[in-house]
Amino acid sequence: MLICFLDRRLGVVSIARMKGPIPLTHTLGFPRVGERRELKKAIEAYWQKQLTRGELERVAQELRRRHWLVQQQAGIGLIPSNDFSFYDQMLDLTCLVGNVPLRFGWDGGKVDLDTYFQLARGVSGGAEKTGGCGCASCQTSAAACEMTKWFDTNYHYLVPEFRAATQFRLSSTKVFDEFSEALALGIKTKPVLIGPVTYLTLGKVHDTENPQFNRFELLERLLPVYVEVLQRLEALGTEWVQLDEPVFSLDLTSEQRIALATAYVTLAAAAPKLKLLVANYFGGLRENLPDFLRLPVHALHVDLVRAPDELDAILREFPKNKLLSIGLVDGRNIWRTDLAAAFAKLEKAAAALGAGRLLVAPSCSLLHTPVTLRHETKLDAEFKSWLAYAEEKLAEVGTLRDLLEGGAPAREALAASRTALASRAASSRIHNAVVKQRVARVVPGDLQRAAPFPQRQAEQRAKLRLPLFPTTTIGSFPQTDEVRAARARWRKGSLSTADYERFIEAEIADAVKFQDEIGLDLPVHGEFERNDMVEYFGEQLDGFAFTENGWVQSYGTRCVKPPIIYGDVARPQPMTVRWSAYAQTLTRRPMKGMLTGPVTVLQWSFVRDDQPRRDTTWQIALALRDEVLDLERAGLAAIQIDEPALREGLPLRSADRADYLAWAVGAFRLCAGGVRNDTQIHTHMCYAEFNDIIQAIADLDADVITIEASRSGMELLEAFETFRYPNEIGPGVYDIHSPRVPGVAEMEQLIEKALRVLPPGNIWVNPDCGLKTRGWAEVKPALRNMVEAARRLRVRFAAEHKAGISS
């Protein structure tokens, strides 16, 4: 090890002398949670008062130290600081600039850690529940700041709030403290801050008196705080500061362009000794390139993983007085880099600008990848050779730089990358000719139900015989401790498969009995057999792998361990039929089968990078299509295909959206297209903006869509005032994030609201989302009330409904 290390250092030294300056390496950020999720565990223990503030600080400090040293040992030249966070980097910035919303009663001093956590979790405490349906809204309480997705990642940030009267002032020393902390270890870091325009863009105006207030007016009040921060960093001896402005990957308004230009003129002049690096990532610059290149800063970072084709344009236009940081290693995925391809780009850039004007980096912060492959003990060596987590990506960045000098270790690393890539490209574990052919042979007819909706509706009514305002649920019932414990015992081998299955059957039987008792019209089996709505399917499909430690931060202390879709997806055998068919034997009412849709499976996984996402999605869709047909054959008259993540996949640029929506909608239709007219296809979506994709939702052509609506008081229905949704729809009337049991009258009123914009014959009555995070003690009375609300409305509207059907 040591010899190899020395070799490399010697190689660098001698060749550097021959060839002149070499590029710096840097990273834009490192995962902070720790290789064993130490930070998550410590913060949660602190919340539960099992850890003192001092103990928590020590865990954090040790993690920062470890992460700086790991990067230093990997030969990274410019190591970031302030990429650490106790919850979220946007929240850190909110506290740095003193933008604490009024409702937290902050006294204006330094924002302390407890106030910080209050912004994240709400003051009432106890708002944070573990688990949830997978969406961020699961965790927010009324008083906490809203959470939303960070660009097109699965990371959620806390949304800054702005008012016309918002004033900013330096209110945290975190960025300075962390710089000094690293300096004490002998590492002069590059502090990282989110840039002012990204900060303003991603916030929301919360100002009832001035709802139309333009947040960019706040820029001139915000900039002085940035100036102060930069000056203090300069005084501390900082050399480089990174300002993240990923808004450059979005469609920019002229106002944002002006804000960007003005902001950086001010910031560049603020601290003349500092080298400012502005980073764009998550997409190409496209028409924003001239604005980006004009920024009066020392260096600019571009994401060449997301926008590999932009290199030529960038090099052509790149200003002579700047350095270029090129992101060549994917910070968003777990695949080993094609070093030969990445190096070709680096060489081209070096030829155009000179190696000394380059910085080599991952495409974005490594926050979005797991920490280290070292703890993956169950993946075989071949599979592991295809992967690179954050630590392995550091080595790749170093190799790319070293390759410019042609040292032997770098050449060996390049050869190893070639071998791994070739093994992946040729592996029979990945490529399944039958699956590829099947996707290639999909014809438009496969995406089409046999008859248009009105005819299907008539046939389904004849078969299902459901009343007006039919009641249903979204699929899952409480995942109690007993259910989890049984699954854990079964996985460990201390419960036999036969006993586990009997246990699940008993849970299903109870759930069906309850639904029958309260008179729920379209019952479900309850999803007791599922740990997670994606993992359950991934585990049964070919082409998916699961990691032991592939954790990435989703928000705050919540981490997710996405499956890896590495190969062609095929379904060796039915996945859900056994349970749904069993449930159907227990009741005379029609049972609803329950599947996770192809786009959601894709979005919540690490996806293979060797074929278009569309192809992978359609492979999943074909596997699900077979499952749908098997369910139909087994006697399920209604089948729900959940697509809560459809909106998440929407590209950042509007120009790319139509293409995405076409294949994403196509994938859903491919799942559903093969069933008979009288089989009712449901879908479900929740916790996202739907208004801008409402046409695509209609294009799914699901017979019924259930959608979260109660939480926003049916706000989503505004979309239906102008858009006539053609099929049946169930706007949620029961907020499943709250333990509160909604009353009958309250739910009746929500349906009445829906009736203002939707025809009575098309309305379903259901909760907002699945009930797996709730307890039976709340679920039972809540669903009883829900069924009663539907019953009362039915009485009032029966006459109208009859008229509607016969006309």
Contact positions vs ligand GLN (CB under 6 A) = 133-134, 474-476, 527, 533, 594, 642, 644, 684, 686, 769-770, 772
User: Residue 598's binding partner, choosing from ligand GLN, Zn ion, none, with beta-carbon cut-off 5 to 8 A by kind?
Assistant: none
Stretch that binds Zn ion, among 27-35, 91-99, 637-645, 773-781 (CB under 5 A): 637-645
The distance of closest approach from Cβ of residue 712 to ligand GLN in the complex, given in angstroms and rounded to an integer, is: 16
Q: Is 664 in the site for Zn ion (CB under 5 A)?
A: no
User: Residue 729's binding partner, choosing from ligand GLN, Zn ion, none, with beta-carbon cut-off 5 to 8 A by kind?
Assistant: none
Q: Which is nearer to ligand GLN, 101 or 644 (CB)?
A: 644
Q: Which is nearer to Zn ion, 229 or 686 (CB)?
A: 686
User: Residue 357's binding partner, choosing from Zn ion, ligand GLN, none, with beta-carbon cut-off 5 to 8 A by kind?
Assistant: none
The distance of closest approach from Cβ of residue 251 to ligand GLN in the complex, given in angstroms and rounded to an integer, is: 29
How many residues make contact with Zn ion (CB under 5 A)?
3
User: Which amino acid is residue 216, in one-letter code?
Assistant: F
The distance of closest approach from Cβ of residue 645 to ligand GLN in the complex, given in angstroms and rounded to an integer, is: 8
Q: How far apart are CA 807 and CA 60, in angstroms?
A: 68
Q: How far apart are CA 274 and CA 292, in angstroms?
A: 19
Q: Which is nearer to Zn ion, 601 or 769 (CB)?
A: 769
Q: What is the DSSP string of 385-439?
A: TTB--HHHHHHHHHHHHHHTTT-HHHHHHHHHHHHHHHHHHH-TTT--HHHHHHH
Residue position matching structure tokens 């790149």: 318
> Which of 769, 782, 789, 793 touches Zn ion (CB under 5 A)?
769
Q: How far apart are CA 431 and CA 440, in angstroms?
A: 14
The distance of closest approach from Cβ of residue 770 to Zn ion in the complex, given in angstroms and rounded to an integer, is: 6
**Cβ atoms of residues 271 and 230 within 8 Å:** yes
**Cβ atoms of residues 391 and 374 within 8 Å:** yes
Paired residues of 517 in beta bridges: none
What does residue 11 show for φ and ψ, rounded to 5 degrees?
-55, -45
User: Which amino acid is residue 606, in one-letter code?
Assistant: F
User: What is the DSSP-derived secondary structure letter of residue 160?
Assistant: P
Stretch that binds Zn ion, among 172-180, 304-312, 359-367, 643-651 (CB under 5 A): 643-651
CA separation, residue 246 to residues 365, 423, 539 (Å): 11, 35, 35
**Cβ atoms of residues 263 and 287 within 8 Å:** no
The distance of closest approach from Cβ of residue 133 to ligand GLN in the complex, given in angstroms and rounded to an integer, is: 4
Stretch that binds Zn ion, among 161-169, 255-263, 444-452, 764-772 (CB under 5 A): 764-772
Q: Is 736 in the site for Zn ion (CB under 5 A)?
A: no
Paired residues of 327 in beta bridges: 303, 361
Paired residues of 325 in beta bridges: 301, 359
User: Which amino acid is residue 701, in one-letter code?
Assistant: D
Q: Is 709 in the site for Zn ion (CB under 5 A)?
A: no
Q: 653 burial class (0-12, 13-18, 19+ CB within 10 angstroms)?
A: middle
Residues of this chain, 47-76, that bind Zn ion according to CB under 5 A: none
The distance of closest approach from Cβ of residue 242 to ligand GLN in the complex, given in angstroms and rounded to an integer, is: 35
Least Cα distance to 281 among 251, 249, 313, 329 occurs for: 249
The distance of closest approach from Cβ of residue 533 to Zn ion in the complex, given in angstroms and rounded to an integer, is: 9
Tokens of 313: 């344009």
The distance of closest approach from Cβ of residue 709 to ligand GLN in the complex, given in angstroms and rounded to an integer, is: 13
User: Residue 594's binding partner, choosing from Zn ion, ligand GLN, none, with beta-carbon cut-off 5 to 8 A by kind?
Assistant: ligand GLN
Q: Which is nearer to ligand GLN, 735 or 748 (CB)?
A: 735
Stretch that binds Zn ion, among 29-37, 226-234, 520-528, 638-646 (CB under 5 A): 638-646
Q: Is 594 in the site for Zn ion (CB under 5 A)?
A: no
Q: Which is nearer to ligand GLN, 769 or 786 (CB)?
A: 769
User: Residue 134's binding partner, choosing from ligand GLN, Zn ion, none, with beta-carbon cut-off 5 to 8 A by kind?
Assistant: ligand GLN
Q: Which is nearer to Zn ion, 31 or 134 (CB)?
A: 134
Q: How far apart are CA 242 and CA 411, in angstroms?
A: 31
User: Which amino acid is residue 76, in one-letter code?
Assistant: I
Q: Is 705 in the site for Zn ion (CB under 5 A)?
A: no
Q: Which is nearer to ligand GLN, 191 or 644 (CB)?
A: 644
Q: Which is nearer to ligand GLN, 283 or 475 (CB)?
A: 475
Q: Which is nearer to ligand GLN, 371 or 769 (CB)?
A: 769
The distance of closest approach from Cβ of residue 711 to ligand GLN in the complex, given in angstroms and rounded to an integer, is: 13
Stretch that binds Zn ion, among 161-169, 307-315, 679-687, 740-748 (CB under 5 A): 679-687
**Cβ atoms of residues 364 and 530 within 8 Å:** no
Q: Which is nearer to Zn ion, 520 or 686 (CB)?
A: 686
Residue position matching structure tokens 């909608």: 665
**Other beta carbons within 10 Å of 263:** 23
Three-state helix/strand/coil letters over 463-493: HHCCCCCCEECCCECCCCHHHHHHHHHHHHC
User: Residue 670's binding partner, choosing from Zn ion, ligand GLN, none, with beta-carbon cut-off 5 to 8 A by kind?
Assistant: none
Q: How far apart are CA 799 and CA 780, in angstroms?
A: 30
What does residue 719 show for φ and ψ, rounded to 5 degrees?
-60, -30
Alpha helices per DSSP H over 306-407: 311-317, 339-353, 381-384, 390-403
The distance of closest approach from Cβ of residue 765 to ligand GLN in the complex, given in angstroms and rounded to an integer, is: 16
User: Residue 336's binding partner, choosing from Zn ion, ligand GLN, none, with beta-carbon cut-off 5 to 8 A by kind?
Assistant: none
User: Residue 772's binding partner, choosing from ligand GLN, Zn ion, none, with beta-carbon cut-off 5 to 8 A by kind?
Assistant: ligand GLN
User: Residue 732's binding partner, choosing from Zn ion, ligand GLN, none, with beta-carbon cut-off 5 to 8 A by kind?
Assistant: none
**Cβ atoms of residues 359 and 530 within 8 Å:** no
Q: How far apart are CA 679 and CA 806, in angstroms?
A: 22
> Which of 289, 623, 624, 686 touches Zn ion (CB under 5 A)?
686
| Nearest residue to ligand GLN, scored by beta-carbon proximity | 770
Q: Which residues are catalytic?
A: 737
Indicate the helix (H) or strand (E) that contains 630. Answer: helix 613-633
Chain residues that interact with Zn ion, rule: CB under 5 A:
644, 686, 769
